[in-house]
Amino acid sequence: MDRETEDILMGLAPNRVSFEVPLAAMTTFGLGGPAEALVEPETVDELLRILEYIRGRRLSWFILGGGSNVLAGDGGFAGVIVRLGKGFSGLRILERRDDRVYIEAGASAATAALLTLARREGLSGVEFLAGIPGWVGGALAMNAGGRDGSIIQAVDRLTLVVAGGRAEEWERGRLRAEYRRLDLPEGAVIVRAVLALTPDAPEAVEARVKDILDRRSATQPRGLRSAGCVFKNPAGDSAGRLIDAAGLKGRRVGSAWVAEEHANFIVHRGKATAAQVMKLIEEVRSEVDNRFGVRLEPEIRIIGRGLEKGSN
């Protein structure tokens, strides 16, 4: 990145721009080389100015949240990582109306913090977030959830920053959600959500949360670096079941391996490279395709340099 671009970015977001920042420090996989620039805007106006400049200069950019579903390349990211700052992390009860409680959640609020608020207030509708790391914005963008529901079911409205330099509010009826995806305009950034939750007995909410946490604890790897489920479930089947049936549990490339506890997790103990993980992803996809005729699609986002071909 040239010095002029660096200077302009610093002027657009004073004290909130860093350079050559390791992506490994910002992802749950703990992998990834340096991003050329990291910008952490604190207000919508600041975000609008930054995106206008990035788009005008045709710089590569990526919006990063809690980093819980991202594989970043060992060669880093040639461009700008935009990560919403603490100004977008607010959580509050907005109003109580028509047997619903409306929660305003900033995009950089942790999903765990949202769930804590719901548990404390005896509010049902986001219990499925138990054990899912990351931020609210990322959870919304990928329509996070599990067998107990997905986050789109709780959405009343979203505030988006869209191309053209403006913020828009989208009501629930305007939103189109798919499995692990929210259909938004290209380049749109979620900055805020209003969620409609249902009052319930706190002990009932706690019981459901505990059940989900117990289930995840019993079926998912613990104490290892991962990005959660690597592949989307194909229609009518489970990616984990297919990978297991292909005999791939325990398959290794370098220091990365397919978890024994859950075949849709790829894990490591801190010594793997992103290239090793990518090569393992390619091997799993190829073998499942050859065995069952199913081409698994990644659920995680894959960004950065050095992932064109997996290597060990």
Which amino acid is it at 73? Answer: G
Helix H segments across 122-187? Answer: 136-141
Asked if 291 contacts 246 with a C-beta cutoff of 8 angstroms, the reply is: yes
What are the C-alpha distances in Å from 165 to residues 48, 140, 168, 174, 186? 6, 21, 10, 20, 13
**Of 100, 128, 99, residue with least CA distance to 114:** 128
Catalytic residue, chosen from 119, 180, 225, 285, is 180
Under 8 Å between Cβ of 135 and 189: no
222 catalytic per annotation: no
Is 95 one of the annotated active-site residues of the chain? no
Of these residues, 119, 192, 225, 229, which one is catalytic?
A: 229
Pairing of strands 61-63, 123-124: unpaired
20 vs 35: CA distance, rounded Å: 5
Among candidate residues 16, 119, 299, 301, the one labeled active-site is: 299
Task: Identify whether 299 is a catalytic site residue.
Answer: yes
Query: Annotated active-site positions, please?
Result: 180, 229, 299
